[in-house]
Chain A
Amino acid sequence: GAGVSQSPSNKVTEKGKDVELRCDPISGHTALYWYRQSLGQGLEFLIYFQGNSAPDKSGLPSDRFSAERTGGSVSTLTIQRTQQEDSAVYLCASSLAPNPDTQYFGPGTRLTVL
């Protein structure tokens, strides 16, 4: 079946602009995760959804970052007033909760803030 998909694959924006990144999880997966990966670095956890609710928002780096999930499926990560340090690959993963919860990752969105 289809895997996790993300769009756009690449996004170039100017500092100060808002961006929206989209994640389509694997059908039937109730848990969804957002991570980001800076160049040459490991994965940084951002937020996790179980259904439409986000029990763990601890990883969001600032109040410029927000995420929502509707209908227990598609999720959108929004970054307001982007800064150059927001440049990274944003990865989405989904899992069939609660057990097993092996996470399957999408290809990521490469965000470049000029």
Chain B
Amino acid sequence: DAKTTQPTSMDCAEGRAANLPCNHSTISGNEYVYWYRQIHSQGPQYIIHGLKNNETNEMASLIITEDRKSSTLILPHATLRDTAVYYCIVRVAGNNNDMRFGAGTRLTVKP
């Protein structure tokens, strides 16, 4: 699986959009970009994933650059409950392989 690079931490004001970047310059053509988050003392929570098109669901939007070497997770209106560690994972879908979680980005939403 391709390696990902994320900032260690970020802050965001409550009600504003949180934009979390992820670099994955060695991504392969059949690798998807997944985003999970882990709120303190809870199990990881799936957020969204995509291959090359931008994706949106009830939680977030995923913007993938045309060359697929980076992506951004967007939480459109961050709340205090969105404070968590956010993980960007690149992997081949359908291989039933394990999720390789890196260090992630610790997002703190401030009032």
User: Residues of A at under 8 Å CB distance from B?
Assistant: 4, 31, 33, 35, 42-43, 45, 48, 50, 56, 59, 91, 93, 95, 97-108
Contact = CB atoms under 8 A, between A and B. Distances in A.
B102 interface: yes
A107 to B, nearest CB: 5
Given A42-B103, A102-B34, A48 B98 contact: yes
A43 B96 contact: no
A59 B103 contact: no
A100 to B, nearest CB: 6
Classify chain B's interface size. Answer: 10 to 19
B43 A59 contact: no
Given A43-B44, A91-B43, A108-B43, A103 B102 contact: no
Contacts of B95: 101
Nearest to B102: A42
In order of increasing CB-CB distance, the 3 nearest A-B pairs are A99-B94, A105-B43, A45-B98
Contact of B96 (A31, A104, A105): A31
Given A42-B103, A100-B93, A102-B34, A59 B46 contact: no
Interface string B18-55: 00000000000000001000000011111001000000
